[in-house]
Amino acid sequence: MTQDIIRLETYNLGRHGSAVESALDMLMEQRTIDRIWAKDWTVWKPEPREIADRLGWLTAPWDAENEAPEFTAFAEKVRHAGFRHALLLGMGGSSLAPEVLGTTFKTKRGFLDLRILDSTDPAAVLRAKASLPLEKTLFIVSSKSGTTVETLSFLNYFFNEILESAGKRSAGSHFAAITDPGTPLEDTASRHRFRAIFQGKPEIGGRFSALSAFGLVPAVLKGIDIRELLRSAGQAAELCRISDDPCRNPGARLGTVLAVLAMNGLDKATFISSPRLRSFGVWLEQLIAESTGKDGRGILPVLETEAGLSGTYGPDRIFVSLELEGDETGKPASQCLQESGYPLISIKIKNINELGSQFFLWEFATAVAGYHLGINPFDQPDVDAAKKKAQEFLKIYRESGSLPPDKPKLMEKGIGIFSDLTALSLKDFLKVFLRQAQPGDYVSIQAFLDPGLETAFILEQLADRLRSRTRLAVTWGLGPRFLHSTGQLHKGDAGKGLFIQITADDSEDIPIPDGPGSKHAGLTFGVLKAAQARGDLEALKSLGRRVLRLHLGKDALRGFNEIAALI
C-alpha cells in the first residue's frame, strides 16, 4: 500500500500551473531526483560545504531501524528503574520533533509522560520544576552541537536541583544526553555519569533530525511504536525516489509547487491543520523558514488555528490543509478558500502513525524547493547574528553587573516604546509603524514572555486582529524559541518583515549555575532572555529591518489588552 501512504492534491494553480509543469520537466531533464539520492551536492551549490555532510536524512528511515532495538531497550530499563516522567531540555531541531510526537500521541500505559522545556523565561523553568516529581523524572539533554546555551543552562539548573535530593553518586542517573560525537555535552555527560548517551549523526542537520535519535529516543520513552513511524517514513522515501515521472513523486511535486509559486510572489505558505496536528505545523515552520529564508529569498510559513474570511488575505498566499482522517474541523474553511480561487495543497493523513511519512515528505520537499530557489537548504548563515549580539550584551553584564541602559522613546500607561520612528502616542506609533508595509510584506510578533497557554491565546488573537486590519500575513513566535526556528528567515529573506518585539519584566528570576554541580551562578535566566531579546533586536536593525519594541513592564496582561484595543 505504499502508493496510498501520501494523499496529496493541489487545486487552483491557475496561471502558475504551466510554470509548475515546466519546473517538474526540468527536474527530470537534469536528473535532479536521482542526483539528490546520489547525494550530489551540485544539485544546490558548486561547493560541498554544509551540503555534502548534511544529506544523511535521506536514508534515516532505514538507518534508524538498526538503532530502534537499542532505543526500545533503554525505554524498558528506564521504566523498570521507576521513572514516570521525561523532561526534554532542548531548542529548535532538538525539541520540535519530540514536541510533535509528545503532543500528538497519547502516553502508553506504564511509559513516561513526555514534556518539553524550550524557553529561558524564568516562569517557564519554574513551572517545569513545580509540575514534575523530580525523583521520578528523567531529564533528556538534547543538543546536536552540545553547546546550545539555553540547553546547557537548563542542564546546569536541573542537575543542581537533582543533586540536592539524590546526591552526587546518583544524580547523573536522572539524565540522558542526545548529541553528536565529540561534543562538549558528550564530555559532560561522561564525566557526570549520565544514565545514557545517544550519539546523533553529524551528517543529519538539526531540523532534518526527526527520524534519528533526536526524535526517536523521546518517542520510545512515551511508548510510541517507532517501527510504525519508520515504516511509513520508508514508504514515503520510496515514493520520493521516483524519477521517471516527477508528478508521481509527492516530495518533488510538493517542493516544486511551493517554490514556483513563491518565485511568482505567492511566498506565504499558510497552514490550516486538524487540531491534533497543530504541533506538526510548528515543526514545519522551522524546517521551511530556516531552510529557505536566505540569499534574499524565502517561503514564509504562517500557522493559523482556523482560516479567516477570504477578504482578510492578500494575493501572496498559498494555503496548505493538513487534515487527519476523522477530524474535518478545518474542511469548510479550506473549501471556502478553494472556492475563492486561492491555490490550495490538501494533504490527508489516515492516522497518526503516518507522521513518519510526513516528516520525510516535507524534508524531501524542502530540499527540492531549495533546488528551485537556488539556495542551500541545509545551512543557516544568519542565525549567528543574533547569538553574537546577545553574547556582547552578556559580556557587558558579566563585566558590569547589569545590561546597558535602554531608554524608551515614550512611556504610555506603563508601556515603554522603543523605536527609530517619531510619534506622540502608542496608537500613533503603531499606525506609523504599520504604515511602512508594502504589498507582499508580513508582520512578525516576537514575544519574549512566559510561554503559558494564556500568552499563546493572546498572541493568536493579536495576530488575527493585525491580519484583519492590514491583510498582511502575520506570524507570532515566543523568544528565544523562534530564534532557532524562523530567526534565519527574518534576517535572510528580502527584508519583507515588520517586527514587533514584545518584552516584559519578570515577576521572579532564578540563577543559572556555571556548570553541573557548581555553586557559583554568574547569570540568571531573566538576564539571558533579556540579552537574547536585545541581541535579536540589534541584529534585525543592523540588517535594515523595520522594528518596533514594546515593553509591557510588570503587568504583561494589562499591556497586551492596551495594544489589542488600539489595533
Which triple of cell numbers denotes residue 72? 526500545
CATH superfamily for 2-30+243-353+365-373 is: Glucose-6-phosphate isomerase like protein; domain 1 (3.40.50.10490)
User: pLDDT tens for residues 433-486?
Assistant: 999 999 999 999 999 999 987 899 999 999 999 999 999 999 999 999 999 999
Return the HEC string of 459-522: HHHHHHHHHHHHCCEEEEEECCHHHHCCHHHHHHCCCCEEEEEEECCCCCCCEECCCCCCCCCC
| pLDDT per residue as tens digits for the range 205-243 | 999 999 999 999 999 999 999 999 999 999 999 999 999
SS3 of the chain: helix, strand, coil, percent, to 5: 50, 15, 35
Of 310 and 144, the structure prediction assigns the larger pLDDT to: 144
Pick the more confident residue, 303 or 11: 303
One DSSP character per residue, 345-384 reads: EEEEESSGGGHHHHHHHHHHHHHHHHHHHTS-TT--TTHH
This prediction has a pTM of: 0.96
Write the pLDDT tens digit of every residue in 398-413.
999 999 999 999 999 9
Q: How far is the C-alpha of 418 from the C-alpha of 404, rounded, in Å? A: 15
State the pLDDT confidence band at 3, using cuts at 50, 70 and 90: low
What are the phi and psi torsion angles at 476 (to 5°)? -140, 150
| Cα-trace Rg, the chain | 23
pLDDT, the chain, mean: 94
Q: pLDDT band for position 169 (50/70/90)?
A: confident
Q: Check: CATH 2.120.10.10 for 58-224?
A: no
CATH 3.40.50.10490 region(s) of the chain?
A: 2-30+243-353+365-373, 58-224, 383-566
Q: Which of 138-147, 271-280, 324-333 has the lowest mean pLDDT?
A: 324-333
Q: Kindly indicate the confidence band of residue 166, based on its pLDDT and cuts at 50, 70 and 90.
A: confident
What pLDDT sits at residue 23?
97
Calpha distance 107→143 (Å, rounded): 24
Amino acid at site 130: A
Q: Check residue 566 and give its pLDDT.
A: 87
The mean per-residue pLDDT over the stretch 386-397 comes to 96
In this predicted structure, the answer to whether residue 91 has a pLDDT above a threshold of 60 is yes
Domain 383-566 in CATH 3.40.50.1000: no
DSSP conformational letter for 54: S
